[in-house]
Amino acid sequence: MRIGIATFVTDEGIRPDTLARAAEERGFDSLFLAEHSHIPQGATATDGSPIPHRFHRSLDPFLALTAAATATERLLLGTGVALLIQRDVIHTAKEVATLDLLSGGRAILAVGAGWNRPEMRNHGTDPRTRGRLLDEQLAALKAIWTRETAAYDGDFVRFGPLHMWPKPVQRPHPPLYIGGNGAAARARVAEAGDGWFPTEVSPAELRTVRAWLADRGRGGAVLNAPADPSRPEELNRYAEAGADRATFQLETLPEAETLRRLDELAAVAADYLA
């Protein structure tokens, strides 16, 4: 089982290139960056609580991951997650392909259907149909990446024949991980994803999902488990349950504090780091 880092990179914390270099030096296999284009004034979390400060300050993940790519050689570079339903699918196809090219084939696109309804409405996205939109966007991305001439005619995504380069280095395309904890997300993994990127899952549930995917011919899907570093014994349980990667959520901190925290996380996961 590999160990990754998931975090918000902001204008107030460690730079993405410095963070990526430090993560690679300590043996972590991947870095996943969250995305929020903005936070509408007055918006709250799903439970009505204030939205954390870091959500307001996150950098664009693709620009930040490109900076990370220039500072590393092996580290996998992922979104965690990109809010595809708020994005133009053609631009996103080009951004991911460009990141994959510049990084030498290290890009991962983890996507989610989102939860901040005011945010998605500001992008012209109807929250009621965002799942159907996401399904079409995933199909459209694959078409753009894998065909010399791509076209798509759906209910929400439509474009005529087009040419888009660069194509991704990875074949047939960079891995598509599906974020989310519910049945819809798991079904999307079985239908269109290369991996699952939940925000919470127990080892028992992970084992069940692994078997469920295998029954549907998707036993090779990459399962990412969000691990709690305060419970290091869980790492072994996740590994035994079939997790391909455990991911630690890294607090958004200044550089010196972040490096100390990375050292602490590396010590917790020492048995699994390269």
Per-residue pLDDT reduced to its tens digit, 94-141: 999 999 999 999 999 999 999 999 999 999 999 999 999 999 999 999
- Can you give the CATH number for the domain in which 168 is found? 3.20.20.30
Residues 6+ apart with CB under 8 A from 97: 145, 164, 165, 166, 167, 168, 174
Residues in the chain: 274
> How many angstroms separate the CA atoms of 3 and 248, rounded?
8
Query: Is the model's pLDDT at 90 over the cut of 80?
Result: yes
Find residue 245's DSSP bridge partners: 2, 224
Residue 68: pLDDT band with limits 50, 70, 90:
very high
pLDDT of amino acid 123: 98
φ, ψ of residue 45 to 5 degrees: the values are -70, 170
Separation CA 216–CA 212 (nearest Å): 7
- When pLDDT is averaged across residues 52-57 and rounded to a whole number, the result is 95
Element spanning 153, H or E: strand 150-153
pLDDT average, residue stretch 176-192: 96
pLDDT recorded at residue 97: 98
- Mapped onto helix, strand or coil, the DSSP state of residue 190 is helix
| pLDDT number for residue 16 | 98
Q: Residue range 63-90: average pLDDT? A: 98
pLDDT at 228: 94
Burial 187-212 (b: 16+ CB within 10 A, else e): bbbbebbbbbbbeebebeebbebbee
How much is the pLDDT for 112? 96
Query: What pLDDT does residue 40 have?
Result: 96
Checking if the pLDDT of 239 tops 90, the result is yes
pLDDT for residue 266:
97
pLDDT digits (tens, 9 = 90+) for 152-180: 999 999 999 999 999 999 999 999 999 99
For the chain, the first-to-last Cα distance in angstroms comes to 10
Measured CA to CA, the distance from residue 245 to residue 66 in angstroms comes to 22
Count CA atoms within 13 Å of residue 243 on its CB side: 28
Q: What is the mean pLDDT of residues 229-233?
A: 91
Contact in structure between 90 and 158 (CB atoms under 8 Å): no
Q: In this predicted structure, what is the pLDDT of residue 218? A: 95
- Sign of the alpha-carbon dihedral angle for 142, 147, 153, 158: positive
Closest CA to 176 of 217, 137, 219, 208: 137
Structural domain count, the chain: 1
Q: Is 241's pLDDT higher than 90?
A: yes
- pLDDT over 90 (residue 264): yes
Say yes or no to pLDDT of 274 above 90.
Answer: no
Confidence of residue 81 (pLDDT cuts 50, 70, 90): very high
Q: pTM for this one?
A: 0.97
Asked if residue 75 has pLDDT above 90, the reply is yes
Q: What's at 30, amino acid-wise?
A: S
Domain that holds residue 238: 2-272
Measured CA to CA, the distance from residue 175 to residue 46 in angstroms comes to: 29
As a whole number, the mean pLDDT across the chain is 97
